[in-house]
Structure 1
Amino acid sequence: MPREEWYVMSGSDIHGGETSPSIFEVEKHAATNDKQKPISPGNPRRSEEEAEKQLAHRSSSPPQHEGTTKHQNPLDDWNGPADLDNPHNWGTWTRVYHATVPGLFGFVVTFGTSVYTPALPLISTSFHISHTTALLGLTVYTLGLAFGPVISAPLSETHGRKIVYLVSSPIFMLFTLGAGFSNSFASLIVCRFFAGMAGSPALAVGAGTNADLFPPSRRAVVTSLFLMAPFAGPSLGPVIGGFAAQYKGWRWTQWCMLFISVAVYALALPMKETYKPVILARRAKKLGISAEKPSAQSSAAVKSSLVQNFIRPLHMLCTEPVVFFLSLYNAFAFAILFLFFAAFPLVFQRPPYNFTTSQSGLTFLGIGLGVLLASLTGVLIDRSIYQPQHQRASAAGKPHAQPEHRLYSAMVGSFGIPLGLFWFGWAAEAGRHWAVLVVAAVPFAWGNLCLFISAALFMTDIYGPRNGASALAANGIFRYTLGAVFPLFTVQMYQKLGTGWATSLLGFLSVLMLPIPWVLFKRGPDIRKRSRYPVVM
């Protein structure tokens, strides 16, 4: 079987008559073929998109032998490159709608992390607990976001994207409702944890939905705009939560989450399914073609999902330098953002600023501006730098530009993180005007998202769709775990070291990590040669 044919079949959970190879067989075969076939203009390694188009073209051609119905079976592939059921062929606004809704779901879920924090003093008083204990409501919610995708991602591959959105969101709203009605801190913690776990599919499945809708050549623009939503959620949460907590009480921070969730859910109801295997299976069912799979194949699918969504991400995190160092850098920068949820109130609600709860929440608008600028930076760099590199590679007979060209955003953004931290810390220590501190948060947030955009694109380009998803899953587990832990020691660190040195400690650590994208840009090809997984060379 030609390489591009089994590649597409194995990556699409085909329900046809023949059994697809396991993911480990696919990777082993791919690695062997890559070593045997030299890369040259006459025999370039095909990209996933080109291979898929070629298979689609063959599937629309007449069979070569009488009685052969393999390429005529609607379960195998699209009817041709112009198949209207293929989400890539939907209208532009239809695809924009289907990409926007997952982004809004991501906004709602990440909004729930920070909308809780302005109510910490009220929660401490209401349940007679310490400020640090009250922060557990943020910690457990974030841990739910970290480990929920282990369950939700396999479900989306079995039943499709839409059903996961439409089922998980009501569960998220029910637990949010339970958190708002909690009369004990224990029940609040339990409801917050399961709300985070139920809401996490939006973060895990959203990237897959975008891959369903857009080809890799447009991946950078879509990724930059999509990631703006879940990063904007934490920056706007304290703004709304501050006013809700100050004027209506801590329970209204949960009601705000609920109101926004209902609006996004209503917007999601007209969505169509975007996942290719599910679309093909439903189309075959309409034609009366059975899509049942043997139980052994179903067991293999369950095992494959478990490996891909839990075991493999942890293995890649421990064995792949690219995954480990980029995830470490991403997780550290992301954890500082969560640390600021506790640090900003400490700084702004005390002398010389003496802000109210609502005024303190408004200071997070600087982070929101940085997120917006980072998204625009990702689009600008793709158009002005990456696309010309991609065109030159195509003209030279290569299927794609080197993955290292995805790192430009991270390289420029790496300077924004320490700049913002040192600026904020010592401006606050000197008692400068509050606006100086708010502006200092802009380069930090800008660098943070620039780093994550590059990491997502770089790892996906290197490891391909399947292993790239595992690499991003490892990144997510690392990010949200550190994000859950960092706020717990924020108060003690800032009280012991002072604002200047506490924030500078974070700045010095970010300086130590600053060379990571630069080293990967310089030494990336050599590092990729030693990978244990099939990679793009």
Structure 2
Amino acid sequence: MVAPGVPDIMAEFHASSPLLATFVVSVFVLGFAFGPLVLAPLSELYGRLPVYHVCNVLFLIFTICCAVSKNMGMLIAFRFLSGFAGVAAVTCGSGTIADLMPVEERGKAMAFWAMGPILGPIIGPVVGGVLIQHAGWRWAFWLIAIASGIITTLAFLLMRETYPVVLLERRAAKFRKETGNPAYRSKLASSLSPQKLIQHTIIRPLKLLFLSPIVTAMCIYIAIMYGLLYILFTTYTFVFEEVYHFSTSTAGLSFLGIGVGTIVGLAFCGTQSDRIIKAKQAAGVTLKPEDRLPLLITLPSCLAIPFGLILYAWTTDKGVHWIVPQIGTAITGFGIIGIVMCVQTYLVDAFTIYAASAIAANAVLRSLLGALLPLCGLDLYQKIGLGWGNTLLGFIALACAPIIWIFAIYGERIRTNPRWQVNF
């Protein structure tokens, strides 16, 4: 939502650096990189609900601070902190789905959940462009704060704890109190001391990231895809204002192309993933996490990303009618969301009770690249042009495609190999 207002922010705070202009947007994603390292372990230690509530309140406070920022440093600092707190729903959401949904229904649930973090950066600039043009950039933050306040209130009223470890421990504690029998223990309870348990929980996402080849490879792949996506997000406003002379409000509409592609991709991936799982269940086939990486979804998704980027590259470079690069971004959005959904559902199915930590490991790396890669986006376009710049991004996406197919074929062998087991 803030991206269309970056030129106004730069003007008000008397800044002119293109790098700083990009960082105002991407620093929020940098907060997404560090938040999961703390929030995911805490959700597996104390439950999902306290993490949601605390982070919702903090996000509201930090967003208000952004709205009243007096200088660029204050704005960037609170943008980072709001990203740190705001990542709770992204980090813990997949864990909540793993808590609640049976395996044959997780595809649709993950697709529905992903609409927030994926469509937010797409719809936000559309609304923000109109709002900022008529009311100023600060009102983008005030609107976010109002929405956050409503969501926070509803969360306090309606949300309940879902994490099995916490729920079973509460039940065991209740039985111990009612019966006076200290023998009642949750079957999921840890034998570690509280201090050791905290240490193990905090380092779990990092252990998965560095010691599990599945998590490492998938995180690198998704991080690169997110980096490419955020290069597009942080440069759309500049590209469409410069090449097609869009106004601030109209430039926000340039995000709709990738939004349409993303919605189609979510619907396709969510329905097909669950359909494949149900068909295997009906046939009596033993299900495995690798069933979440079907060629039916991964092949068109992997090919759509470079094709869409190259179409966007040369139509913007040559000034072809704006609808054509929008089609290119829609194809790119379809491909990226297909890959992201397959990988995230795969990690949830593979790590179940530790799904939040696996997704946190994924979020750390992807958010780092999502924050840092866009810093070179405008420089890349200035040095080699929109055509070759986006074509290079397309070739990078194509080179990464075999990663997901390798794990679709050999993932079970790698996952069950004692050499690659991660001890928590």
Q: TM-score, with normalisation over the residues of structure 1?
A: 0.71
Which residue of 221, 226, 229 corresponds with 1:337? 229
Using CA pairs below 8 Å that are at least 6 residues apart, which structure has the higher relative contact order? 2
* Aligned sequence identity (%): 33
Q: 2:217 aligns with which of 312, 322, 325?
A: 325
**Structure-1 residue corresponding to 2:3:** 117
SS of corresponding position for 1:433: coil
**Partners of 2:96 and 2:162 within 8 A in 1:** yes
For 2:150, give the aligned amino acid. A
C-alpha contact (below 8 Å) 1:410/1:455 kept by paired residues: no
Query: Per the alignment, do residues 204 and 530 of structure 1 end up closer, same or farther by CA in structure 2, a change over 3 Å counting?
Result: same
Match of 1:136 in 2: 23
Q: Per-residue deviation at 1:426? A: 0.8
Match runs of 1:79-90 below 5 Å = none
Match of 2:368 in 1: 481
Specify which of 73, 81, 84 is matched with residue 197 of structure 1.
Answer: 84
Mapped to 1, the partners of 2:283 and 2:370 lie a distance apart of 40
Contact kept, 8 Å, 1:374 with 1:446, in 2: the verdict is yes
CA-CA distance at 1:237 after TM superposition: 1.4
Candidates 416, 422, 426, aligned match of 2:310: 422
* 1:274 and 2:169 matched: no
Does residue 450 of the first structure (1) align with residue 335 of the second (2)? no
Q: Deviations over 1:162-219 (max 9, x none)?
A: 2221221111111111111111111111111111111121111111111221122322
Do 1:386 and 1:406's aligned partners in 2 also have CA atoms closer than 8 Å? no
Q: What residue ranges of structure 2 are gaps of 5+ in the alignment? A: none
Q: Match of 2:242, SS?
A: coil
The residue that corresponds to 1:387 in the other structure is 278
User: Structure 1 counterpart of 2:306, which letter?
Assistant: P
Cα distance change on mapping 1:470 and 1:209 into 2, 3 Å = closer
Distance 2:89 2:307 in 1: 32
CA contact (8 A) 1:119 1:241 kept: yes
> Residues 245-268 of structure 1, C-alpha deviation per residue, up to 9 Å, x if partnerless?
222112112112112212222322
Deviation, 1:122, is 0.9
> How far, CA to CA, are the matches of 2:415 and 2:99 in structure 1?
27
Could you say which residue in structure 1 is the equivalent of 2:300?
A: 412
* Counterpart position of 1:5: none
**Structure 1 contact 312–470 (Cα < 8 Å) conserved:** no
Secondary structure of 2:283's counterpart equals: helix
User: Quick check: 1:503 aligned with 2:390?
Assistant: yes
AA at the equivalent of 2:116: A
Partner of 1:13: none
1:83-102 aligned within 5 A:
none
CA displacement at 1:489 relative to structure 2: 1.2
Post-superposition offset of 1:531: 6.1
Q: 1:380 to 1:278 in 2, by over 3 A?
A: closer
Aligned partners of 1:531 and 1:432: how far apart in 2? 55
CA gap 1:296/1:281 in 2 versus in 1, 3 angstroms: closer
Structure with the largest fraction of helix: 2
Aligned to 1:441: 329
**CA distance in structure 1 between the aligned counterparts of 2:224 and 2:44, rounded to whole angstroms:** 30
8 Å Cα contact 2:228/2:370 also seen in 1: yes
Question: Does the 8 Å CA contact 1:127/1:185 hold for their aligned counterparts?
Answer: yes
- Count of residue pairs the alignment pairs up: 411
Question: Counterparts of 1:441 and 1:332 in 2: how far apart (Å)?
Answer: 17
Larger Rg: 1
2-structure distance, mates of 1:385, 1:154: 32
Tell me which residue corresponds to 1:76.
Answer: none
2:41 to 154, 157, 165: 154
Amino acid at match of 1:126: E
Alignment match, 2:140: 253
CA distance in 2, matches of 1:149, 1:120: 27
* Aligned residues: CA RMSD: 2.5
- What TM-score do you get using the length of structure 2 for normalisation? 0.89
Give the superposition deviation at 1:402.
6.4
For residues 11-410 of structure 1, the aligned pairs below 5 Å read 115-129=1-15, 130-268=17-155, 269-283=157-171, 288-289=177-178, 297-309=193-205, 311-316=206-211, 320=213, 322-351=214-243, 353-394=244-285, 398=286, 400-401=287-288, 403-404=290-291, 406-408=293-295, 409-410=297-298
1:282 CA displacement: 4.1
Name the CA distance, whole Å, in 2 between partners of 1:308 and 1:240. Answer: 38
Indicate if the aligned counterparts of 1:410 and 1:452 stay in contact, CA closer than 8 A: no
The DSSP-based 3-state class of the residue aligned with 2:383 is: helix
**Could you say what secondary structure the match of 1:454 adopts?**
helix
